[in-house]
Amino acid sequence: MKKRILVTGGAGFIGSHLCQRLLNDGHEVICLDNYFTGNKANVIHLLDNPYFELIRHDVTHPFFIEVDEIYNLACPASPVHYQYNPIKTIKTSVMGAINMLGLAKRIKAKILQASTSEVYGDPIVHPQPESYWGNVNPIGQRSCYDEGKRCAETLFMDYRLQNDVKIKIIRIFNTYGPKMNPNDGRVVSNFIVQALKGEDITIFGDGTQTRSFQYVDDLVEGMIRMMNSRDDFWGPVNIGNPKEFTMLQLAELVIRLTGSTSRIVHMPLPQDDPTQRQPVIDLARKELNGWEPTVELEQGLKLTVDYFKNLLQQS
């Protein structure tokens, strides 16, 4: 059945992949973005599709439309961008959630919140199940993002309880792939761009801190399965790759795949940077038809390296 679907932050890295997939699945897609971190180039190839619509709008302001489903992805997600204007970041998470939940309430649409593994902070429990409440500094440099997303989850749960809005909450763990912003400060894009340019690869800390990297196609599949899951399951649910890698392992793999001569250098660890990040995905496997990541890190990195090679050649 063809649905009308609103994607906020739809011109961003993840949002643009989601828009493409929803169109491929036969739906009508309205993409909303203010282009703070999103990029029109990510979706320009979709503009010829009669079932795709692109609207410039900031979710901190109300928006009115008739749709069947809403994917709320709008918010800068990398430290470089969300720390650039921390007040704007927390307004995007909180006011954006209020505006989109208000819209969902009025038009009786189902709405999915793209939350984050950052709600777990620098975790004391490892790996992280959804039942863990987290270890977050409420007044640190990362708080605008971490606490903004935590507050958005609260709003989603309260709109469900008070107004019977059909909600879904996913917690996204580190995701990478084509269309990442080369200047977003995320570790995968940083390492690949530095390696392709032959620059030093900068690792913050001693490199033993870990992350779990999922390829963007696996995330999009998880998002869609969550939106289509049974009505009495609203989450939150972890969507991430349970395979854990150290920063040193990632840097060495990127150097090998790019054939780079880059050296690895170490820099001081930023405030509140998590030392471990790994999801427990038992709930996703159980509730989302056996969902789990299928793209191995080396396979996904090759596709991402190819994307950045082409991008750097064009610039």
Q: Which domains does the chain have, with CATH numbers?
A: 4-173+215-241+279-293 (3.40.50.720)
As to burial, measured by CB atoms within 10 angstroms (0-12 exposed, 13-18 middle, 19+ buried), residue 59 is: buried
Question: Where is pLDDT greater, at 206 or 130?
Answer: 130
The mean pLDDT value for 255-275 works out to 83
Confidence of residue 90 (pLDDT cuts 50, 70, 90): very high
The predicted structure's pLDDT at residue 160: 98
CB 173 within 8 A of CB 222: no
Compute the residue count for the chain.
315
CB 144 within 8 A of CB 87: yes
The mean pLDDT value for 128-157 works out to 94
| Alpha-carbon separation of residue 21 from 12, 15, 211 (angstroms) | 14, 10, 26
Which residue bears the tokens 């996703």? 284
The mean pLDDT value for 302-309 works out to 96
Catalytic annotation present for 215: no
Q: What is the pTM of this model?
A: 0.94
Could you report how far apart the first and last alpha carbons of the chain are, in Å? 42
3-state DSSP call for residue 50?
A: coil
Handedness of CA 203, 125, 177, 270 (dihedral sign): negative
pLDDT at 131 over 60: yes
pLDDT at 78 over 80: no
The predicted structure's pLDDT at residue 273: 65
| Alpha-carbon separation of residue 271 from 127, 188, 205, 249, 255 (angstroms) | 21, 20, 11, 22, 27
Structure tokens at 72: 């709320």
pLDDT at 313 over 90: no
pLDDT at 111 over 60: yes
Which residue bears the tokens 């030392």? 275
- List pLDDT tens digits, range 172-224: 999 999 999 888 888 899 999 999 999 999 998 888 888 889 999 999 999 99
Question: For the chain, what is the mean pLDDT?
Answer: 94
CB 175 within 8 A of CB 214: yes
Which of 80-89, 117-126, 165-174 is most confident? 165-174
Query: Exactly one of 71, 145, 176, 215 is catalytic; which is it?
Result: 145
Confidence of residue 267 (pLDDT cuts 50, 70, 90): confident
Which of 103-107, 246-250, 270-274, 307-311 is most confident? 103-107
* Euclidean distance between CA atoms 112 and 168, whole angstroms: 4
* Euclidean distance between CA atoms 238 and 223, whole angstroms: 10
Report which of 315, 304, 314, 312 is spatially closest to residue 198, judged by C-alpha positions. Answer: 312
CB 55 within 8 A of CB 31: yes
